[in-house]
Amino acid sequence: MDNIIEIIKGDITTLKVGAIVNAANSSLMGGGGVDGAIHRAAGPQLKEYCRSLKGCQAGEAKISPSFQLKCKHIIHTVGPVWNNGTQNEEALLASAYRRSLEVAIENKIQSIAFPSISTGAYRFPFDKATLIAKNEIERFMKTNNTLQTIILVTFSESDYNQLKRIYEKPKNNYQNQ
Ligand code: ADP
């Protein structure tokens, strides 16, 4: 079966999908940005559950139930904090996407929605992060077809337009940018 990538603008907490991905911090105990929005919408049980996960390293991913959200699961991943590319950030961001997709497959999830991991408080340059995500998702889709729908969720109009522009470019290889 063919898998598809959709780009939408909106609030990831409202989506009715197999899993939404949380751009969490390594404590998994909640934070600002999308992490805060997910914890608020899922309710306090999420924090209790996350306590049992005992944190998560950058580039890794862990799964939880969704509690009060409409999606079935939450996959919590931790992206790198951008430090001018000196701390292996690109590989860690690629790993955050890859591990989230692997966890989705392990849990037989068919649709997954990602926020733009690390591009908020963690300051990863948006274009660079988008190209890394695109490369990783496309590579993953070549060998896995159980995941049918991948939704990329942008929060602002300008992020939405930028993402559209990058995905609509005919040939795009982030290593050549
Ligand atoms: P990080 O710490 O990984 O940078 P942030 O939550 O600060 O995470 O930002 C990641 C991205 O998520 C940003 O592009 C931000 O605009 C976006 N974002 C924030 N809230 C939401 C939301 N409710 N739904 C979707 N995306 C969101």
The 3-state DSSP class for residue 81 equals coil
> For ligand 1, atom 5, which residue shows the shortest CA distance?
120
Domain enclosing residue 46, as ranges:
4-121+130-146
In a domain, 47, yes or no: yes
Q: What residue ranges line ligand 1, CB within 6 angstroms?
A: 11-13, 23, 33-35, 37, 79, 115-122, 153, 155-156, 159
Q: What's the CATH code of the domain at 22?
A: 3.40.220.10
In a domain, 153, yes or no: no
Kindly give the distance from the C-alpha atom of residue 152 to the centroid of ligand 1, in angstroms, as a whole number: 12
> For ligand 1, atom 3, which residue shows the shortest CA distance?
118
Please identify, by atom number, the ligand 1 atom nearest to the C-alpha of residue 117.
3
In a domain, 17, yes or no: yes
Total number of domains constituting the chain? 1
In a domain, 171, yes or no: no
Which is nearest to 28 in space by CA: 2, 46, 4? Answer: 46
Q: Which of 17, 35, 127, 155 to mutate to test the pocket of ligand 1 (most atoms within 8 A of CB)?
A: 155
Q: What is the pLDDT of residue 169?
A: 76
For residue 166, the surrounding DSSP H or E stretch is: helix 157-168
In a domain, 56, yes or no: yes
Q: What is the pLDDT of residue 177?
A: 47
Please identify, by atom number, the ligand 1 atom nearest to the C-alpha of residue 12.
24
Collect all residues with Cβ–Cβ distance below 8 Å to 99 and sequence separation of at least 6: 59, 60, 61, 77
In a domain, 90, yes or no: yes
Buried-exposed string 2-17: b where 16+ CB fall within 10 A, e elsewhere: ebeeebeeeebbebeb
Please identify, by atom number, the ligand 1 atom nearest to the C-alpha of residue 119.
4
In a domain, 152, yes or no: no
Catalytic residues: 35
In a domain, 114, yes or no: yes
The 3-state DSSP class for residue 27 equals coil
Residues of the chain with pLDDT under 70: 1-2, 170-177
